[in-house]
Every structure is written in C-alpha cells, then in structure tokens.
Amino acid sequence: MGIYHKRYAFRIEIDGIEKAAFRTCDGLQANVGVVEENEGGQLAPTKELGKASYDNVTLTNGVTDNTEMWEWMKAALNGDDAAAEKDLDIVQLDRAGNELKRWNCFSAKPARFMPGSWDATSEENTVEELELAIERFDLA
C-alpha cells in the first residue's frame, strides 16, 4: 500500500521567473476524447480514443511588490509569443521539503490574470490569480 502525501507541500518552478511561491495550484488535468461509431447493424456503438487535451492551470499567490506574473501576462497581451511561452514544473514535496513527484508542464502561456479583489472591511491579504494554458504535461 502506498503512502499518502499532503497537498499543502508543493513548489512551482517557472523558466525565467525568480519568484514562484504560490498559495494554490489547481487544474492540472489530462483528458482523452472518445469517438463513437455506429457500424451498420450494431445495437451499441464502438468506441475509440480521440484527441488528447489538457486543462488550464491556475496559480494563486498573495500580492507583493513583485510584478513578474504581470510582466509575463503583459508579454502575452502584447503578442510576444517567445516571451509569453515558458515551461514550468509543479513539484510535490514531503514534510521535510524533499521532492516526491515532479510534473513537467510544457509551453505554458498566460490566458487570464486577475490582480485581486478589494474590500475595505476585510483584514485578508489580496490574492492574485494567473491562469496558464499548457500544451501538455508529463510526470518526470
């Protein structure tokens, strides 16, 4: 039987980004479509594997004076494909900070940026979100 690991221990490594400490990372998911074919006379369709797709990954972090996430989004908004495309790794850690698993995400590009929401009655920190479109991922 395997050992279960906690979900709070992770780090994100992004090519060319120095600050990559995030509060949450969500959405890493692979999907395979299914194609159904009805052959003549069959009551039930045959099913074959279709196209693979990968969902967007959303990173959230507390807002600081660091602007690297916004600069990355600006590259995408300005149509700078070379600057907007980066590889990133999602690294699951144990309690001691040792690496357990590493998910390599390829060709990540900013798809949505939310600088936070504000509330004059709140005592919570502002949290920004960056949604990334990835072409694919794999377990390293």
On whether residue 42 sits in a domain, the answer given is yes
pLDDT tens by residue, the chain, 140 residues: 778 888 888 999 999 887 668 999 999 999 999 999 988 878 899 999 999 999 999 999 988 888 999 999 999 999 999 999 999 999 999 989 999 999 999 999 999 999 999 999 999 888 999 999 999 999 99
DSSP of 96-109: TS-EEEEEEEEEEE
On whether residue 64 sits in a domain, the answer given is yes
For the stretch 33-48, pLDDT in tens is 999 998 887 889 999 9
**For residue 114, what are its two tokens?**
């939310």
User: What's the CATH code of the domain at 25?
Assistant: 2.30.110
Dist CA 87 CA 66 (whole Å): 20
Containing structural domain, residue 109:
10-139
On whether residue 109 sits in a domain, the answer given is yes
> How many distinct structural domains can be found in the chain?
1
On whether residue 102 sits in a domain, the answer given is yes
For the stretch 58-75, pLDDT in tens is 999 988 888 999 999 999
Map residue 19 onto helix, strand or coil: coil
On whether residue 26 sits in a domain, the answer given is yes
**114 neighbors 19 (Cβ within 8 angstroms):** no
